[in-house]
Chain A
């Protein structure tokens, strides 16, 4: 089965799922960051330009910081997210899912020079398209990856219905499917809802709208509602 998720099992048996972010999302985040840094550097340099050669020296420092320090500082202190990554809901993490630390962050940002060759990120893009987890060379060397930060939907949207336990015990993925159906069912076409509900006739023993209500009751029971 094809997916972009990297699954990691911890020694405690917890499986972590890292949703690897691909080239397009990362390119957008980079463009945002680049625009921000360019704007900031432009205004600072305009001000510093009035100060003569001392201002030019300070300007060099500003450019240095924008190029080399911005990424590391943001990743280490802003939870693995530069401003662009935060806007695109991306995050840098270590390959084992732990938050990125100073050394990997420094390495992946130093190797930006390689990825950026020949000045327009050609190598980084090719590497990103080839790698199964869309890592550029800096990520591979530093042992990091960029992942999507998932937004969880609220469970509160599930309509209330007096809870009723299902007639047979269900497996975990089946329970998840029932709850997801209760969550998303209302967005579906009515005929489609009934069609899906009728598939579970062996579980509910009903067809049509009665079956749908029964499924909702099961979902409410699974969520621990009264």
Chain B
């Protein structure tokens, strides 16, 4: 077995992925496998159909076909195993394998081990490794540990696939039975109670077709499991990589030897050849010799590579489009004028009545909406516009505010407070306080100072009591301005007594 010639990618695979590799191998080599399969098995299908017609019992034929599966399974196994390590054989070779492999193992498969679900993974050992029975049992003990379960699972899954594929065409049949025939035909004819005689033929053929897909799938999947297990046990992938590395190292070693030899030999040879006193002509350099014009097809490798790159569909290479074109384009016939069939009122009476009702309902709804709109929403009838547009009561009343704080602002605050403009009163009090604090600190009032700045300023005052009073006023102002919470008259009186209102 030469691993270098292997035609599948060797890598450690999970058993599920190995089964998928089996399906890929079946796809790749479908042509020889199925040609040989059908040639070998169609005579047996004929026998099975004959049995079904003769005995009138389709299950005998199904059993017969099922029984023969191990015989046919050797075809896909042969093709796939040869294709992995060498050239893929043709269908003739595959058919010949039926003879060359002889009866080895086949008798057991078709009698005592017919029900063994591990057949798909055991087959490669029996047919490909050529061990005698004792050695085979020994080998299976080691080998089977990792693939027994997956092999059984694969066989069961393929059995399921077989029945899906077999029953699908049969289930398509009732889908094409017209609904009005359905009841009379299927039930009154007693179809569900006794299967009609003629159905045994399609059943046998459908089973045969399902088997023809599922059994090769099972066999190639089993072979892929076998390959995966051997890769795992014997590290075939590493073997391959190591062999490549070894070949590369040996090749570079040889090249290095040759180069070294050339280096030693070449200068001495030249020294002997070239007469010392003869001057060689200076090399003439021209533009053409330095930059030779690219010749068509001069660099074949470059052309190949660029051709490949340009053929990449991502770079807008050629694409193939398929479409149907009539073989014999017929001359255009003038369209025949078919007199229109008059619509008989009875044809679409139901739909007509329904759509008429719908339209009338829509019309009534539209009229009703128009009436409602005219009564309620017509601009000139919208009730009292004054009430609708009543302005929202604002907490801020427009008053003539003097921006500058008057000298004795306490009196003005009093007046505003008593007249009910409490917010304005507090605003004035706040501004006055800020100015007084600034005067005490001997700092100018910054126009963008916030309440926080005012509090910070008040904290810097030498007089703690004055600071506390100023902070209290600022806080009161904040409660009023942001939360609409006003102090009582007594609190107001406390704030207005003493610094900062009464003296500077």
Chain A residues with a Cβ under 8 A of chain B: 1-5, 19-25, 27-28, 88-89, 117-123, 125-126, 129-130, 132, 134, 148, 151, 168, 170, 173-174, 176-177, 180-181, 184-185, 187-189, 192, 196, 199-203
Contacts and interface: CB of A to CB of B under 8 A. Distances in A.
Given A2-B28, A125-B161, 7 more contacts: A2-B8, A2-B24, A118-B171, A168-B252, A174-B244, A177-B245, A200-B245
A129 B249 CA distance: 43
Contact of A24 (B19, B233, B238, B253): B19
Given A24-B19, A180-B238, A120 B167 contact: yes
Which are the 6 A-B pairs with shortest beta-carbon distances? Answer: A122-B168, A22-B20, A177-B241, A3-B9, A118-B171, A202-B249
Q: Determine chain B's interface SS by DSSP, over half rule.
A: helix
Contact of A188 (B17, B25, B235): B235
A224 to B, nearest CB: 21
Given A27-B157, A132-B27, A181-B235, A2 B19 contact: no
B9 A148 contact: no
B21 A4 contact: yes
A148 B237 CA distance: 20
B246 interface: yes
Interface in B148-163: 153-154, 157-158, 160-161
Interface of B: 7-9, 12, 14, 16-17, 19-21, 23-25, 27-28, 153-154, 157-158, 160-161, 164-165, 167-169, 171-172, 175, 213, 217, 221, 232-235, 237-239, 241-246, 248-250, 252-253
B20 A188 contact: no
B167 A21 contact: no
15 contacts: A5-B9, A21-B20, A22-B19, A22-B20, A23-B161, A24-B20, A24-B23, A129-B27, A132-B24, A132-B27, A181-B242, A184-B238, A196-B242, A200-B242, A203-B249
Contacts of B169: 122
Given A119-B171, A192-B235, A3 B161 contact: no
Most buried by A among B19, B24, B250: B24
A184 B11 CA distance: 12
A29 B165 CA distance: 19
A125 to B, nearest CB: 6
B319 to A, nearest CB: 18
Given A2-B8, A200-B245, A188 B164 contact: no
B168 A170 contact: no
Nearest to A197: B242
Nearest to A125: B164
Contacts of B21: 2-4
